[in-house]
Amino acid sequence: MMASSYSAKDEDGHITVSGPGGGTLRNKKPENTAFKQQRLPAWQPILTAGTVLPAFFIIGLIFIPIGIGLYVTSNNIKEFEIDYTGDDTSSPCYNCAKNFSWNNTKSCTCTIPFQLDQPYEKPSKECEPYASIDNKPIAPCGAIANSMFNDTLTLFYNDPNGTSVPIPLTSTGIAWWTDKHVKFRNPVGTNSNLTAVFQGTVKPVNWHRPVYELDTDPENNGFINEDFIVWMRTAALPTFRKLYRIIQKKNTMAPTLPRGNYTLVVDYNYPVRSFEGRKRMILSTISWMGGKNPFLGIAYITVGSVCFFLGVVLLVIHHKYGNRNNSANISN
C-alpha cells in the first residue's frame, strides 16, 4: 500500500501532488495575478459631509424654483369637466345610459346645460409679438412664421447653342408626410376658396403676399404650403439647411443635371445683413441614408478606432506580462 500526499496552493490556482504518479493539477480558481484577483489600483471617491451637503443644497436651490414655476403654470391652466356617464338618476344622460346597449342601431341624445364661472380665453403668447395688426389676427402668427424664407431661386442650364434652358423644379414632396397631412391643416378643412376662409385676417409683417396666395395649386396653398411647413420645423442650430426644391429628371437617358454651365437667378426678398446671416444655394445628391451628414460616419469611425486601439494596447500588455506570470506560476 503506497502513501501519497499533496499540498495545495490556493493563491496561484495549482495543486501539487507528491508521490507515485505525482504532478501538478490545474485548479479552476483564477491565477494569482493582480488583474484576475482584482487587485489593480483603483480610485474610489470618498463622500464626506463637506462635499455631499453643498451638492444637495445647490440642487435644491435650483430645482425648487423651477418646480414652483412649473406648478404655478400648471395650476393656471383652466379646466372644466363634465361627467356624462349617466349612472345617477339626476344626470341628464341617465335614460340614455339605462336603455342603451351595443345592439342599438340609433344613438341617444342628451342635453347637458352648464355654466362657466370665469371666462376662458385662447392664449396668444406663442404668437407674440406678431399676433395681430389693427385688431386683426395675423395668419399665420408668430415670429417663426414671420421670418419665413421668401427668396425665389430659378436655375437655368446654358446650352452650348446659346440658349438658356430652365431646370424643372418641384415645390411638393419636400415636407414630411405627417406634417403635410396631419399636423398642418387649413381652416374648415377646405382648400377650394382660401380667400374667403382667411377673410378678416392679415398677412405677417415681413410677408409680401398673404398665406392664401403662397401657391396657385390648392393642394399646396395656405397652411399646407410645403415651403411654409418646412420653415415651421424649426432648426436646432443657428447654421442649418432647408430643403427648397427637388429637381425633376426629364428622362432616364440623360443625367438630371448634365455637365456644363448654369445660371442661378435669385429674387432677393429675404434680408440677413441685420443679424449677419449668410444664405447659400446647395445642389446635392442623395444616398440611401439621405443627404450629406458626416456625423454618423465620424462617430462610427471614432468608436471603431478607439476600440481597435484599446485592443492593440491590451494585446501588447498581455503579450508582455502574460508569459511572465505563467513562468512564475510554473517555477513556484
Domain boundary among 120, 151, 175: 120
User: Quick check: is 69 in a domain?
Assistant: no
Query: In this structure, are 114 and 148 located in the same domain?
Result: no
Type and span of the H or E element at 331: helix 295-331
Query: In this structure, are 111 and 139 located in the same domain?
Result: no
User: Quick check: is 92 in a domain?
Assistant: yes
Query: In this structure, are 112 and 133 located in the same domain?
Result: no
Contact present, 228 and 214 (Cβ < 8 Å): yes
Domain boundary among 57, 89, 120: 120
Query: In this structure, are 157 and 199 located in the same domain?
Result: yes
Query: In this structure, are 91 and 227 located in the same domain?
Result: no
Query: In this structure, are 115 and 237 located in the same domain?
Result: no
Contact present, 211 and 140 (Cβ < 8 Å): yes
Which grid cell sits at 3?
Answer: 502513501
**130-171 confidence digits (pLDDT tens):** 888 888 999 999 999 999 998 888 888 898 898 988 989 999
Query: In this structure, are 112 and 197 located in the same domain?
Result: no
For the entire predicted model, the pTM comes to 0.61
Query: In this structure, are 147 and 95 located in the same domain?
Result: no
User: Quick check: is 85 in a domain?
Assistant: yes
Query: In this structure, are 194 and 112 located in the same domain?
Result: no
| Beta strands 23-26 and 132-133, pairing class | unpaired
Which residue range is the domain that position 186 belongs to?
127-294
pLDDT in tens, the chain (332 residues): 444 444 444 444 555 555 555 555 556 778 888 888 888 888 787 877 677 778 888 888 898 898 888 888 777 777 767 776 777 788 778 887 777 666 666 777 777 777 778 777 666 767 888 888 888 999 999 999 999 998 888 888 898 898 988 989 999 999 999 999 999 999 876 667 888 889 889 999 889 999 999 998 989 999 999 999 999 999 888 888 899 999 888 777 678 888 889 999 888 888 888 888 888 888 888 877 777 778 888 999 999 999 899 888 888 887 777 666 555 555 55
User: Quick check: is 255 in a domain?
Assistant: yes
User: Quick check: is 240 in a domain?
Assistant: yes
How would DSSP label each residue in 210-270?
-GGGS-SSGGGSGGG-HHHHHHHS--SSSS------EEPP--SSS-SS-SSEEEEEEE---
Domain boundary among 278, 294, 310: 294
Query: In this structure, are 150 and 259 located in the same domain?
Result: yes
User: Quick check: is 271 in a domain?
Assistant: yes
Contact present, 91 and 85 (Cβ < 8 Å): yes
User: Quick check: is 7 in a domain?
Assistant: no
User: Quick check: is 27 in a domain?
Assistant: no
Q: How far apart are CA 248 and CA 266, in angstroms?
A: 19
How would DSSP label each residue in 95-143?
HHHHH--TT-SS----------SS------GGGTTSSEETTEEBSS-SH
Domain count along the chain: 2
Query: In this structure, are 113 and 247 located in the same domain?
Result: no
What residues contact residue 332 under an 8 Å CB cut-off, 6+ apart?
9, 12, 14
**7-36 confidence digits (pLDDT tens):** 444 444 555 555 555 555 556 778 888 888
282 three-state secondary structure:
coil
Query: In this structure, are 159 and 86 located in the same domain?
Result: no
